[in-house]
């Protein structure tokens, strides 16, 4: 490039900087993003489409915590969204995917945080019925030229025995036009592309999706992707929890039974479930008839209601007897930990039915699991648990014990190093209260996968039917069942029904004790001492958990009382000074400075005297909220006392940003309403800049306070930036 051309380029840049109405690095308020999203108003409340939109909206809410973004959601289909993106009427749309047409105009985010449903659609007046895959046999099905669509059709055909004739189209518009013209009987596409005259026949798959924006807003998409990655880094469990709330429930509704499986369910026999009683809370004694109580029977009944199966429960003497019943045809199902050994090769297993948490019980004073070979007491409640643990931990010496209580006694007697017991059993039974020398290692636990074993006499199809049925269960309802069985429900009637002999004996003892009470004072004293001992033991068990909670609560309360203004929730005078000194100790960004605001509400005392302190406190709280909404999350806002507020803006790049925030503060103060009157209040603001007006807190505070005083002397309702070069220490930028 010639010297003349370079000079012209530099001159052009200078002219653009002079004429532009906004500085290049001016601080901007948090934007309001107009986001198009799938219109789910026609779907039921728990439909997968609604769940997926809720998933993304919750994700965006989490993102707003670090960006300050605000959202306006506008339901629409993707076709409408693309037109509005061209016009600039919306900023983004979800869920979207690459469509192969006019992509030069649009960009997709690199990170997802969105999902869509791939479904089969037909015209509204089509004779094809919904949720009847067999009706698609020998029909022409339109698909896009993508691997996902081809796989979805192949999967549908394989699972449902459907032989469809695929017709491939390049774009989604061509696909839907072909359906409208009758070139195909149905199409496979995403819910966001469905037209108003089309009806849903069958959901096929759940797909990851992206955010869509015009090429002009690629920077917005990049910022969004960066914040998604940041959220995953600082809060890695957030997506997992969100998936359990929405994705798992949506995926469960996409589980489909094949035509063969549907036929089996229509004529399935009553399945006999072998169980060993007195394994509470998993299996317990029957309340009435032959139906046992417990978590697993309740979940099985829920499974039967979900897919149309019926179960009878057959008691077994022990686990070996239950397995024998499966092999001799006396039972069809049994719960166990799946282990791939020759002893169970004649049985089939479902996928993991539940994941049971096991706790390590040790002698009090033990802080960790000893390394190397250890002796582990394990109850025989879960068939296969011993084999499973031997495979996972070959150096463990498993000591099989019949009952969990026997494990604890063996541990107390020194027959093992620790006991490995189900956490739900320990929580419900409270058995550790009677073993004061034992405790649970809170930092150690393990999960064992529990499956349903199926008798070899049952058809293979039962394995897939039960596995799919388990996938279709609502995880929320399963959690409710567990909670229901973790609470004690023992009443007088159930105690008599469960333990008639023991109940009668206890009644006799109580009656005899009433008559002999005067002659057995010593026995009463012993019983009272035992009660005191048991209470102390319970307190010791709870102390480990409560101690940490108390320390955390005390720390939080102390921190809040020391740093937070109780009326407004802002930083107090001491906290503002501490934040300032910490900020000044850190290096400034290149070309940046800090801005320190001090502001007073004008005429606040007169308003407070006229309308009372309650109205005054309400004004202070509302003005504090206004200040929060005006400044960035990185800014520090405090109440110095009375109606005086302070704001510390770190790393500001231009004075224009300071002026912009000062004007917004004046507008906010003038809009404060007191008894339907907007004319009572205004605000006076003084600003000092660091390091231009000093770095010591007292110097900067005095500079800002001097600027504030000059505003008040000039008639209030204004703002000034301190300038030490002028007479009296004040000049400078001001506004009303």
Per-residue model confidence (pLDDT) at position 15? 39
Per-residue model confidence (pLDDT) at position 261? 84
Residues 320, 348 within the same domain? yes
Distance CA 79, CA 289 (A): 60
Per-residue model confidence (pLDDT) at position 71? 95
Residues 301, 248 within the same domain? no
User: Could you read off the pLDDT of 165-180 as tens digits, one per residue?
Assistant: 899 998 888 999 999 9
- Domain for residue 530, yes or no? no
Q: Which of 327-331, 379-383, 703-707 has the lowest mean pLDDT?
A: 379-383
- Which pLDDT band holds residue 492 (cuts at 50, 70, 90)? very low
Residues 437, 338 within the same domain? yes
- Domain for residue 508, yes or no? no
Report the alpha-carbon angle 615-616-617, nearest 5: 95
Residues 726, 669 within the same domain? yes
Indicate the average pLDDT of the chain: 84
- Domain for residue 495, yes or no? no
The range of the structural domain enclosing residue 127 comes to 32-252
Secondary structure letter of residue 300 according to DSSP: H
Residues 473, 425 within the same domain? yes
User: Could you read off the pLDDT of 495-527 as tens digits, one per residue?
Assistant: 444 445 666 777 788 878 887 877 778 777 888
Res 423 pLDDT > 60: yes
Q: Is 300 exposed, middle or buried (0-12, 13-18, 19+ CB in 10 A)?
A: buried
Torsion of CA 400, 404, 405, 407, to 10 degrees: 40
Q: Which residue has the higher pLDDT, 53 or 237?
A: 53
Res 318 pLDDT > 50: yes
Residues 248, 275 within the same domain? no
Distance CA 190, CA 98 (A): 12
Of the residues 489, 517, 536, which one is the last residue of a structural domain? 489
Answer whether 176's CB lies under 8 Å from 198's CB.
yes
The CATH number that applies at residue 244 is 3.40.190.10
In this prediction, residues 650-669 reach a mean pLDDT of: 94
In this prediction, residues 94-122 reach a mean pLDDT of: 84
Give 356's contacts (C-beta < 8 A, 6+ positions apart). Answer: 382, 422, 423, 424, 447, 448, 450
Per-residue model confidence (pLDDT) at position 498? 44
Residues 599, 720 within the same domain? yes
The CATH number that applies at residue 342 is 3.40.190.290
User: Could you read off the pLDDT of 675-733 as tens digits, one per residue?
Assistant: 776 667 899 999 999 999 999 999 999 999 999 999 999 999 999 999 876 544 433 44
Res 99 pLDDT > 70: no
Q: Of 299, 328, 303, whose CA–CA distance to 316 is shortest?
A: 328
Residues 665, 686 within the same domain? yes
Beta bridge partners of 291: 288
Per-residue model confidence (pLDDT) at position 184? 94
Residue 124: CA atoms inside 13 Å, Cβ hemisphere, count?
Answer: 5
Residues 233, 285 within the same domain? no
Q: Which of 189-203, 338-352, 395-409 has the lowest mean pLDDT?
A: 338-352
Helices (H) and strands (E) in the chain, counts: 24, 26
In this prediction, residues 1-18 reach a mean pLDDT of: 43
Q: How many domains does the chain have?
A: 3
Residues 437, 382 within the same domain? yes
- Domain for residue 375, yes or no? yes
Res 90 pLDDT > 90: yes
Per-residue model confidence (pLDDT) at position 553? 61
- Domain for residue 225, yes or no? yes
Per-residue model confidence (pLDDT) at position 547? 66
Q: Which residue has the higher pLDDT, 348 or 475?
A: 348
- Domain for residue 526, yes or no? no
Distance CA 685, CA 669 (A): 11
In this prediction, residues 262-275 reach a mean pLDDT of: 90
Res 610 pLDDT > 60: yes
Place of tokens 């009668």: 504
In this prediction, residues 33-42 reach a mean pLDDT of: 94
Q: Which of 37-51, 118-132, 248-262 has the lowest mean pLDDT?
A: 248-262
- Domain for residue 5, yes or no? no
- Which pLDDT band holds residue 154 (cuts at 50, 70, 90)? confident
Of the residues 489, 524, 547, which one is the last residue of a structural domain? 489
Percent of the chain surpassing pLDDT 90: 41
Pairing of strands 718-721, 734-735: antiparallel
User: Could you read off the pLDDT of 555-580 as tens digits, one per residue?
Assistant: 555 555 568 988 999 999 999 999 99
Per-residue model confidence (pLDDT) at position 94? 94
Residues 314, 247 within the same domain? no
Per-residue model confidence (pLDDT) at position 288? 60
Distance CA 347, CA 349 (A): 7
Per-residue model confidence (pLDDT) at position 152? 83
Residues 345, 481 within the same domain? yes
The CATH number that applies at residue 705 is 3.30.70.270
In this prediction, residues 180-198 reach a mean pLDDT of: 92
Per-residue model confidence (pLDDT) at position 511? 79
Res 371 pLDDT > 80: no
Percent of the chain surpassing pLDDT 70: 87
Of the residues 252, 272, 292, which one is the last residue of a structural domain? 252
Res 20 pLDDT > 60: no
Per-residue model confidence (pLDDT) at position 496? 47
- Domain for residue 496, yes or no? no
């Amino acid at each position: 490039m010639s010297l003349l051309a370079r000079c012209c380029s530099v001159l052009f840049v200078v002219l653009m900087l002079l004429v532009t109405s906004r500085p290049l690095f001016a601080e901007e308020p948090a934007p309001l993003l107009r986001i198009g999203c799938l219109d789910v108003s026609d779907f039921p409340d728990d439909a997968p489409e609604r769940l997926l939109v809720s998933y993304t909206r919750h994700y965006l809410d989490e993102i707003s915590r670090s960006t300050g973004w605000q959202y306006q959601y506008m339901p629409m289909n993707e076709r409408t969204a693309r037109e509005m993106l061209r016009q600039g009427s919306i900023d983004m749309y979800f869920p979207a995917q690459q469509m192969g047409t006019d992509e030069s105009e649009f960009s997709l985010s690199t990170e997802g945080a969105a999902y869509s449903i791939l479904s089969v659609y037909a015209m509204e007046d089509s004779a094809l019925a919904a949720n009847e895959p067999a009706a698609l046999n020998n029909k022409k099905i339109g698909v896009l030229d993508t691997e996902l669509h081809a796989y979805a059709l192949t999967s549908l055909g394989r699972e449902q025995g459907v032989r469809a004739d695929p017709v491939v189209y390049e774009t989604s518009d061509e696909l839907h036009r072909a359906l409208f013209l009758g070139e195909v009987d149905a199409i496979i596409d995403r819910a966001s592309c469905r037209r108003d005259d089309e009806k849903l026949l069958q959901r096929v798959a759940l797909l990851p999706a992206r955010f869509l924006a015009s090429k002009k807003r690629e920077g917005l998409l990049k910022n969004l992707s960066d914040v998604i990655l940041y959220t995953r880094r600082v809060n890695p469990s957030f997506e997992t929890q969100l998936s359990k709330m929405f994705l798992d429930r949506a995926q469960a509704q996409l589980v489909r039974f094949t035509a063969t499986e549907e036929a089996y369910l229509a004529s399935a026999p009553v399945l006999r479930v072998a169980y060993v009683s007195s394994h509470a809370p998993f299996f317990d004694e029957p309340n009435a008839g032959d139906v046992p109580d417990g978590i697993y029977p309740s979940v099985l009944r829920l499974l039967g209601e979900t897919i149309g199966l019926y179960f009878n429960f057959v008691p077994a003497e022990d686990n070996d007897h239950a397995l024998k019943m499966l092999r001799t045809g006396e039972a069809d199902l049994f719960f166990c930990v799946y282990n791939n050994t020759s002893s169970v090769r004649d049985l089939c297993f479902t996928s993991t039915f539940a994941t049971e948490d096991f706790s390590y019980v040790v002698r009090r004073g033990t802080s960790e699991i000893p390394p190397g070979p250890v002796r582990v007491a394990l109850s025989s409640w879960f068939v296969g648990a011993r084999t499973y643990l031997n495979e996972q931990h070959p150096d463990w010496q498993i000591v099989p014990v019949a009952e969990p209580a026997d494990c604890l006694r063996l541990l107390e007697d020194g027959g093992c190093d620790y006991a490995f017991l189900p956490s739900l059993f320990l929580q419900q039974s409270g058995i550790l209260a009677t073993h004061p020398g034992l405790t649970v290692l809170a930092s150690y636990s393990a999960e064992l996968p529990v499956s349903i074993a199926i008798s070899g006499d049952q058809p293979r199809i039962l394995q897939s039917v039960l596995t799919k049925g388990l996938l279709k269960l609502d995880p929320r309802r399963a959690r409710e069942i567990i909670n229901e069985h973790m609470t004690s429900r023992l009443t007088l009637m159930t105690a008599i029904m469960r333990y008639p002999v023991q109940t009668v004996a206890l009644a006799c003892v109580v009656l005899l004790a009433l008559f002999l009470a005067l002659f057995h004072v010593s026995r009463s004293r012993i019983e009272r001492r035992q009660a005191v001992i048991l209470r102390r033991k319970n307190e010791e068990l709870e102390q480990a958990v409560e101690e940490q909670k108390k320390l955390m609560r005390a720390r939080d309360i102390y921190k809040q009382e020391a740093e937070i203004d109780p009326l407004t929730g802002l930083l107090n005078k001491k906290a503002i000074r501490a934040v300032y000194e910490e900020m000044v100790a850190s290096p400034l960004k290149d070309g940046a400075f800090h801005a320190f605001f001090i502001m007073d509400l004008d005429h606040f005392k007169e308003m407070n005297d006229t309308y009372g302190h309650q109205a005054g406190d309400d004004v202070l709280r509302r003005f504090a909220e206004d200040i929060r909404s005006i400044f960035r999350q990185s800014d520090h806002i405090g109440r110095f006392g009375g109606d005086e507020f302070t704001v510390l803006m770190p790393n500001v790049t231009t004075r224009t940003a300071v002026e912009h925030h000062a004007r917004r503060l004046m507008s906010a103060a003038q809009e404060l309403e007191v008894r339907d009157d907007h004319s009572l209040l205004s605000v006076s603001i003084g600003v000092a800049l660091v390091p231009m007006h000093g770095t010591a807190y007292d110097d900067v505070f005095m500079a800002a306070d001097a600027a504030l005083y000059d505003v008040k002397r000039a008639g209030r309702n204004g703002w000034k930036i301190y300038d030490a070069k002028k007479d009296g220490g004040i000049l400078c930028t001001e506004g009303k």
